[in-house]
Amino acid sequence: MFKSLRWKLQFFYSALLATVILSSGSIFYYQVWRSTFTEVDRRLEAAALYLDVTLRSFPPPVQQGIEATLMPPPPLRPDGTAPPPPRPRRSKEQFLEELRLPQELNIPGINNPRDQPYFMVMTANDMLLKKEYLPQGYSEEDSLAKKFYPQPTLIMLKNNLREVRMIGPGGTKIIAGKSLEYEIVRMRYIAIQFTLVGIVFLVFGVGVSFAIASRMVRPITQMSATAELLSEKDLGKRLNINQIDSELAGLAEVLNRLFSRLDASFSRQRQFTADASHELRTPLTVIRSASELALSQPRSPAEYQETIEVSLKASERMTNLVNGLLALARLDSSNADFHLRQINLSDLASESVSLLRAIASEKQVSLVSDLHSVQIFGNPESLSRMIDNLITNAILYNKPGGKVFITLKSYDDKAVLEIKDTGVGISEEHLPFIFERFYRVDKARSRLSGGSGLGLAICKGVIEKHNGAITAQSVLGEGTTFQIQLPIWNY
């Protein structure tokens, strides 16, 4: 499962999504949490300051918990009239009765006043002036035992109580506080909501990522399915590049090219097997029919001799063919048996020229050689056989009185060997195929000369093994030139 590309993609997407949901949810939750509690603190501080300012608006006796003494009546005006009576001051009870936190300092969204801020005001010597909405179980003694500060100071008490404490006018002690139960429950509720929404998003995201991962690996699955369908008999199938995403189109093209090469290689192999069987069958049929004919009735010694000669010729052809097949098989196989060493190509060419001079003169063809010394790194046996083959062809497919020019030169870092004849030439339609196995331009003539149609294919194989190239140019009726290029040895 962990080797599956789809599962890896799926896992990666899901992990990424979970991380994004978790981190963004946590950040968002933290922001809500912070703003909620900051707001509570801000309002509690405002409440304490409000109480402080309100207490200041009354004369000190109120602040100290003493009844205000009656003021003496104001002096008469110069005209003898009594001044207008001063505005009646509120009594201490009335003032304390009316002392409460204004609506604006309440926390929005809370209907129960018990969940809103509470407060408590005491004189400097701990006499209670006013308390409102103190939560249940609130211990006034414990609270008074704690320190008060000149500035509004926030503290956290047991049972999730948040308080601002400060010293007001005339040493009064002011407490404004709030139970955070409501906020904590609300934050818990928000956390549950966030978790549920996160889970829904995650499930949805995992579903989408599954679909995406499946969609992404589908072309690969299709490609492997098509590749699987390709059997030896149905190598014609190809991947449809138009239906494949651009990133995978390159791979599909490579696979298609591979299929084409395999297809071509299998066809060549089939063709080769068919051709080889056909080539072997002909001499076998000759031997068999000649032998049957000879044995069908008593024959004279001369007739037997003729039969044996025919069989010998046919077996010679078979030997040639089998040798050719063996040489090709060796060239097709690994490089293990193909030993290379430093050699002078001109030595090999001049050996071949002297070896074939006899056959050439028999065919009334003259060999003209111009060979310069060129060192190469190669296999002398196979290269000699190749040169022999090319010169033999140039002699056999020549005209009486014709010529074969063998030249060897070096250009830049290449040895260039040319075998040029003034023979029958090869027509344009045949020229591209002459290096193919069993390809013969004139079958009858080639067979007569003992040719198997494998010679040039072997030459090409040998040259390619040496990292070289062989080309042929020909004009029908005028002659053919084979040019071989091989890398020079210059170490």
CA-CA-CA-CA torsion sign (269, 273, 279, 280): positive
Closer to ligand ADP by CB, 152 or 451: give it.
Answer: 451
The answer to whether 404 contacts ligand ADP (rule: CB under 6 A) is no
Distance CA 114, CA 136 (A): 10
Closer to ligand ADP by CB, 222 or 483: give it.
Answer: 483
Residues in 367-396 at the binding interface with ligand ADP, rule: CB under 6 A:
393-394
> What tokens were used for 344?
């002078």
**Which residue among 47, 325, 456, 488 contacts ligand ADP (CB under 6 A)?**
456
The answer to whether 426 contacts ligand ADP (rule: CB under 6 A) is yes
The strand pairing partners of 177, in sequence order, are: 118, 163
**Which residue among 167, 239, 424, 484 contacts ligand ADP (CB under 6 A)?**
424
Beta carbon of residue 419, minimum distance to ligand ADP (angstroms, whole number): 8
> What tokens were used for 284?
């076998």
Closer to ligand ADP by CB, 172 or 393: give it.
Answer: 393
80: left (phi over 0), alpha (psi -120 to 50) or beta: left
For tokens 């008060």, the residue is 148
The answer to whether 168 contacts ligand ADP (rule: CB under 6 A) is no
The answer to whether 461 contacts ligand ADP (rule: CB under 6 A) is no
Beta carbon of residue 349, minimum distance to ligand ADP (angstroms, whole number): 16
**Which residue among 169, 177, 453, 461 contacts ligand ADP (CB under 6 A)?**
453
Query: What is each CA distance from 260 to 230, 238, 332, 371, 478, in whole angstroms?
Result: 11, 8, 19, 42, 38
Do residues 392 and 363 touch, judged by C-beta distance below 8 A? no
**Which residue among 118, 259, 397, 489 contacts ligand ADP (CB under 6 A)?**
397
The strand pairing partners of 432, in sequence order, are: none
Residues in 462-491 at the binding interface with ligand ADP, rule: CB under 6 A:
480
Distance CA 235, CA 227 (A): 9
Beta carbon of residue 424, minimum distance to ligand ADP (angstroms, whole number): 5
Closer to ligand ADP by CB, 43 or 440: give it.
Answer: 440
Beta carbon of residue 422, minimum distance to ligand ADP (angstroms, whole number): 10
Q: Which stretch binds ligand ADP (CB under 6 A): 2-10, 160-168, 373-381, 450-458?
A: 450-458
Pairing of strands 341-344, 173-179: unpaired
The strand pairing partners of 153, in sequence order, are: 165
**Which residue among 441, 462, 463, 488 contacts ligand ADP (CB under 6 A)?**
441
Q: Which stretch binds ligand ADP (CB under 6 A): 185-193, 224-232, 273-281, 421-429?
A: 421-429
Residues in binding contact with ligand ADP, number by CB under 6 A: 21
Q: Which stretch binds ligand ADP (CB under 6 A): 119-127, 192-200, 288-296, 440-448?
A: 440-448
**Which residue among 45, 183, 388, 421 contacts ligand ADP (CB under 6 A)?**
421
Per residue, the 3-state secondary structure of 363-377, as one string, reads: CCCEEEEEECCCEEE
**Which residue among 388, 446, 466, 486 contacts ligand ADP (CB under 6 A)?**
446
Beta carbon of residue 327, minimum distance to ligand ADP (angstroms, whole number): 12
Least Cα distance to 419 among 380, 447, 388, 462 occurs for 388
Distance CA 437, CA 457 (A): 5
Distance CA 17, CA 206 (A): 8
Beta carbon of residue 390, minimum distance to ligand ADP (angstroms, whole number): 7
The answer to whether 132 contacts ligand ADP (rule: CB under 6 A) is no
The answer to whether 418 contacts ligand ADP (rule: CB under 6 A) is no
Do residues 149 and 6 touch, judged by C-beta distance below 8 A? no
The answer to whether 310 contacts ligand ADP (rule: CB under 6 A) is no
Q: Which stretch binds ligand ADP (CB under 6 A): 191-199, 260-268, 294-302, 436-444?
A: 436-444
DSSP 414-461: EEEEEEEE-SS---TTTGGGTTSTT--SSHHHHHHTT--S-HHHHHHH
Buried b (16+ CB within 10 A) or exposed e, 459-488: bbbbbebbebebebebeeeebbbbebbbeb
The answer to whether 440 contacts ligand ADP (rule: CB under 6 A) is yes
The answer to whether 152 contacts ligand ADP (rule: CB under 6 A) is no
Half-sphere exposure of residue 438: CA atoms within 13 angstroms, side-chain side: 16
Distance between terminal CA atoms of the chain?
55
Beta carbon of residue 352, minimum distance to ligand ADP (angstroms, whole number): 15
**Which residue among 423, 463, 484, 485 contacts ligand ADP (CB under 6 A)?**
423
Residues in 33-72 at the binding interface with ligand ADP, rule: CB under 6 A:
none
Burial level of 425, CB count in 10 A (0-12/13-18/19+)? Answer: buried
Residue 66: helix, strand or coil by DSSP?
coil
* Residues engaged in binding ligand ADP (CB under 6 A): 393-394, 397, 421, 423-424, 426, 434, 439-442, 446, 451-457, 480
